[in-house]
Structure 1
Amino acid sequence: MNHSPDAIPLKPRSESLSLRTKLAYGVGELGGEIPNNILVFFLLFFLTSVAGLNPTLAGSVLLISKVWDAVNDPLIGILSDRTRSPLGRRYPWMLAGAIPLGVCFCLQWFVPPTTNQWLLFAYYSGIALLFYTAFTAVAVPHSTLAAELTTGYDERTSLVSFKAAFSIGASILSLTLAQVIFAKIADPSKKYLILGGVCGIIAMSAVCVCVWGTYKRYQAIQAQRIPVSLSSSLPIRQQLQIALSNFPFLCVIGIYLCSWLGLQVTAAILPYFVINWMRLPDHYFTQTAIAVQGTALTMMFFWSAVATRLGKRAIYGMGIPLTICALVGLCFLQPGQVGLMYVLAVMTGVGLSTAYLVPWSMLPDVLDLDELNTGQRREGIFCGLVVQFQKTALAIALFLVGKILDWAGFIPTTPGQSLPSQPESALLAIRWLIGPVPALVLVFGLVCAYFYPITRSVHGEILLKLLERRNSSKHL
């Protein structure tokens, strides 16, 4: 039997996570989430209204890049599970991906000196493929650290709350930078390129800070572990089959998929809604997005505290219905109702924070169940699969958003010219995409949360059985 030093503790670690470790782990979230938030909020709009790309081709860029990103996720997850180095399994991937991540993100916002649609399509597709390769090398290993820095049910929720808080903070920071840069620079092509450069530098730095700040804790955990069989002892296809036969894992996939499919489609259509339907300047879009994310950040630690009393599933069932109601309300909003738009943005943020917090705090508990069932630790493949399903569905959804806008007669902007007036059919499509469509997807997320079976007591039983098994192995 193969053995690994990256195994699970013989007994639960009594020393609590330090604030430094939690902060460093949270900072690592900036490496992926600052670029990701800028892309979600701005890329489709940038491609159609700055670079001058046809909406269908712009949606195709997103489809190709996201599908490639989804293919990368389980692959890099498996490879990181198998990696052995003095730095451990995850850190070499994070450090190798940091610089390409920042450079390619900056190049994503460069407007080539051509109006040829296919040359523009080729450029943005190629850069996106390179960017998402680096992005996955950073994001998937970072996500697995939540299961490798602590084993406690509630402590994991606390650790993930820092991850979620920095994820929301990344959105606020990136949107604030966008507003400042956009206010000072009038040229659309220049302001997006500068934003990409600044955010790329921050992302690279955040990855390095995360590695530096969590490495000591990671090594301390590894020193307490006993060997468990490597996941590489099984073929990849069999590993995938085992993972996908884990019912709680399928519930987590459903929660995460529906949460981000609904909310990121809303984020992608939000600039069109604010600028084309509400007829407001572009800085109102960033203010609206900041209102959503600022509220989510404020509510994050409230929901984390409530989860220690009521459980992870319960807070999702309390928060997401508020977001659903707010999204439906946006569909009926009329031009001029700016104050109500901000009220609905705040209401959206109250529920949004549970979508950041719940899926990633559930996943480490699923990993413990998988170890109980199989005797293996495979954080990488599980994290990779979660993100793969989410990104594949999101890629298809964003492609359809671009296609629907094209079908509805949306008029792209020629570089250097003012925004054209959109036909009524395009405005109606924007209103449906901002509210009812993502709200319906979130309803399915609530169904998945309802059937999620691992409560605090169930997780305690899982840890007890693992402890009994390890003690038996120790005395053999």
Structure 2
Amino acid sequence: METSDKLQSPPKLTWPVKLAYGAGDLGAGLTSNLLAFSFLIFLTNVAGLEPLTAGSVLLIGKIWDAVNDPAIGILSDRTRSRWGRRYPWIVLTAIPFGVTFYLNWIVPGLTSPIALYWYYVVISVVFQIFFTTTNLPYSILTAEMTEDYDERTELTSFRLSFSLFGAVSVLALGLIVSQMVADPQRQYQILGSLGGVISIAAIFWCVLGTFPYYKRQAAYRGRSLNYTGNEKSSSFLQQIKTVFSNRPFLFVVGIYMCSWLALQITATIIPFYVTFWMGADNYFLAALLVQGTAIFMMAICNLLAKRIGKKGLYFLGSGIWVIVQIALFFLQPGQLSFLYGLCIAASFGVATAYVVPWSILPDVIELDELNTGQRREGVFYAFMTLLQKMGLAIGIFLVSLALQTSGFVKAAAEQPESALLAIRFFMGPVPLVLVLCGMVLAYFYPITKASHTETLLKLAERRKQESP
């Protein structure tokens, strides 16, 4: 295996590198957020699908992702090139990622409801494939750019701040476009095209800004760009089995799934809650307040994590989030000022739900390397990316199922009491229970800063012994 001349001092993680790295997640945040907030209401009120039919569009794609995401993770682990294991995947699939995102937001003019349904299923599946091939290898870079416990939290904060910035940007664009363009179909076409172009540009900024640092980091560690720990290879099923035998990873999976599913259910129901229960004309403002404020909360999360630890941060943010969800259930129509205040308060919980699970994942990967001798970032990040997309799809499907069974009328300005109760229930109690489950799992999460430091020392000693 090709090796690099080892540098005497570690490369400096500069602001331009941090910004470029963070920019890589702008497109993922933008596309995921527009899908989370608007895809269901677009499919029902613009494309004309029934709620349950519309909700199944993304869910079908996730059945494929259960194979696609781990497979891409393993393939990127095994990729060999002069640009390393991850960058070829990111560069070659960035443009298809942006183009297929745009295709989700057009109404193709098909007269058959079945044909229209399968158009969205196929486009959704293809888009999710390119989402994985671009964003999974990018996400793995967190574990490869630094081994420092606090630097990883910082990089995660930059990454997720850009993710939230992308999420907020598309909501702000939605607010502007909806006021300037009267035709809803045209509104979503414009948002889809802007989202695709911005995503592609941000991904190439990330590549150009981080690759030189990535090469220097590999040289400092005395590794090639294709470093894998050792050269032993195991089958797909063996790697899956090993991943799920990692007890701390199971806690990370549970924490992330609870938090992310709570977030996605809330995001999906907000347009219906704001429009049909609260009586507001535009749902983009409420969504914008939640995630816009969360960007600033990221910096606070980074500081608090150093003082009270990642677990303490998660408890604090989730506790505030629980209070907000209770209040939203009891909020009455027309109390818009209270609604917007609760949206701002919820942003801190949203920020911790983003930061904490992703910042503790690299620590789990190091423990796996200590136990197995292999670097399997791709497999671990594949499952986290799969959970992210599953959370979005399940959230949309559950909301669509609730709307369908409660008598929601897609073309009506006023909804029956049963539909309004279902909307409130998914705005309050359902996310609340999920957040509480995440807090229980976080309480029992076993890796601490001290135990992670011990893991790194043992790894450093092993690498020293293995080096020629």
Q: 1:393 to 1:19 in 2, by over 3 A?
A: closer
Q: Which runs of 5+ in 2 are unaligned?
A: none
Which stretches of structure 1, 4 residues or longer, exceed 6 Å deviation after superposition?
9-13
Contact 2:40/2:268, CA 8 A, preserved across alignment: yes
CA distance in structure 1 between the aligned counterparts of 2:369 and 2:196, rounded to whole angstroms: 37
Q: TM-score, normalised by structure 1?
A: 0.94
Q: 1:4 to 1:331 in 2, by over 3 A?
A: farther
Structure-1 residue corresponding to 2:460: 467
CA distance in structure 2 between the aligned counterparts of 1:231 and 1:325, rounded to whole angstroms: 50
Structure-2 residue corresponding to 1:154: 150
**What is the 5 A alignment of 1:295-306?**
295-306=293-304
CA distance in structure 2 between the aligned counterparts of 1:81 and 1:13, rounded to whole angstroms: 27
Q: Is 1:262 aligned to 2:262, yes or no?
A: yes
Identity of aligned residues (%): 47
Q: 1:38 to 1:473 in 2, by over 3 A?
A: same
Contact 2:228/2:376, CA 8 A, preserved across alignment: no
CA distance in structure 1 between the aligned counterparts of 2:287 and 2:3, rounded to whole angstroms: 44
Which of 432, 437, 441 does residue 444 from structure 1 map onto? 437
* Amino acid aligned to 2:423: I
Q: Secondary structure at the match of 1:446?
A: helix
RMSD: 1.9
Aligned pair count reads 464
Structure-1 residue corresponding to 2:137: 141
CA distance in structure 1 between the aligned counterparts of 2:397 and 2:297, rounded to whole angstroms: 32
Structure-1 residue corresponding to 2:279: 279
Structure-1 residue corresponding to 2:324: 326
CA distance in structure 1 between the aligned counterparts of 2:295 and 2:17, rounded to whole angstroms: 20
Structure-2 residue corresponding to 1:360: 358
**What is the 5 A alignment of 1:22-33?**
22-33=18-29
How far is 1:229 from its partner?
Answer: 4.3
CA distance in structure 2 between the aligned counterparts of 1:407 and 1:131, rounded to whole angstroms: 29
**Deviates further, 339-348 or 464-473:** 464-473
Contact 1:11/1:467, CA 8 A, preserved across alignment: no
Structure-2 residue corresponding to 1:167: 163
CA distance in structure 1 between the aligned counterparts of 2:428 and 2:254, rounded to whole angstroms: 20
* Amino acid aligned to 1:96: L
Give a deviation string over 1:168-204, Cα, whole Å, max 9, x none: 1111111011111111000010110011001110001
Structure-1 residue corresponding to 2:370: 372
**What is the 5 A alignment of 1:213-224?**
213-223=209-219, 224=221
Contact 1:255/1:359, CA 8 A, preserved across alignment: yes
Contact 2:246/2:368, CA 8 A, preserved across alignment: yes
Q: 1:228 to 1:38 in 2, by over 3 A?
A: closer
CA distance in structure 1 between the aligned counterparts of 2:49 and 2:437, rounded to whole angstroms: 33
Q: TM-score, normalised by structure 2?
A: 0.95
Contact 1:53/1:412, CA 8 A, preserved across alignment: no
How far is 1:400 from its partner?
Answer: 2.4
**What is the 5 A alignment of 1:95-106?**
95-106=91-102
Q: Secondary structure at the match of 1:276?
A: helix
* Amino acid aligned to 1:326: V
**What is the 5 A alignment of 1:233-244?**
233-244=233-244
Structure-2 residue corresponding to 1:455: 448
Q: 1:353 to 1:377 in 2, by over 3 A?
A: same
Q: Is 1:314 aligned to 2:312, yes or no?
A: yes
**What is the 5 A alignment of 1:111-130?**
111-130=107-126
Contact 2:261/2:394, CA 8 A, preserved across alignment: no
* Amino acid aligned to 2:354: Y
* Amino acid aligned to 2:193: G
Q: Secondary structure at the match of 1:377?
A: coil
How far is 1:472 from its partner?
Answer: 1.7
CA distance in structure 1 between the aligned counterparts of 2:253 and 2:3, rounded to whole angstroms: 29
How far is 1:67 from its partner?
Answer: 3.0
* Amino acid aligned to 1:340: F
Give a deviation string over 1:134-159, Cα, whole Å, max 9, x none: 11111101110001111100011111
Contact 2:264/2:395, CA 8 A, preserved across alignment: no
Structure-2 residue corresponding to 1:416: none
Which of 395, 404, 407 does residue 406 from structure 1 map onto? 404
CA distance in structure 1 between the aligned counterparts of 2:315 and 2:346, rounded to whole angstroms: 14
Structure-1 residue corresponding to 2:222: 225
Structure-2 residue corresponding to 1:44: 40
Give a deviation string over 1:103-137, Cα, whole Å, max 9, x none: 11111111122453212111111110111111111
CA distance in structure 1 between the aligned counterparts of 2:98 and 2:388, rounded to whole angstroms: 23
CA distance in structure 2 between the aligned counterparts of 1:253 and 1:156, rounded to whole angstroms: 18
Q: Is 1:34 aligned to 2:34, yes or no?
A: no
Structure-1 residue corresponding to 2:416: 423
Contact 1:67/1:395, CA 8 A, preserved across alignment: no
Q: 1:114 to 1:423 in 2, by over 3 A?
A: farther
CA distance in structure 2 between the aligned counterparts of 1:68 and 1:420, rounded to whole angstroms: 36
How far is 1:4 from its partner?
Answer: 7.3
Q: 1:206 to 1:249 in 2, by over 3 A?
A: same
Contact 2:317/2:350, CA 8 A, preserved across alignment: yes
CA distance in structure 2 between the aligned counterparts of 1:280 and 1:148, rounded to whole angstroms: 46
* Amino acid aligned to 1:212: L
Contact 1:12/1:152, CA 8 A, preserved across alignment: no
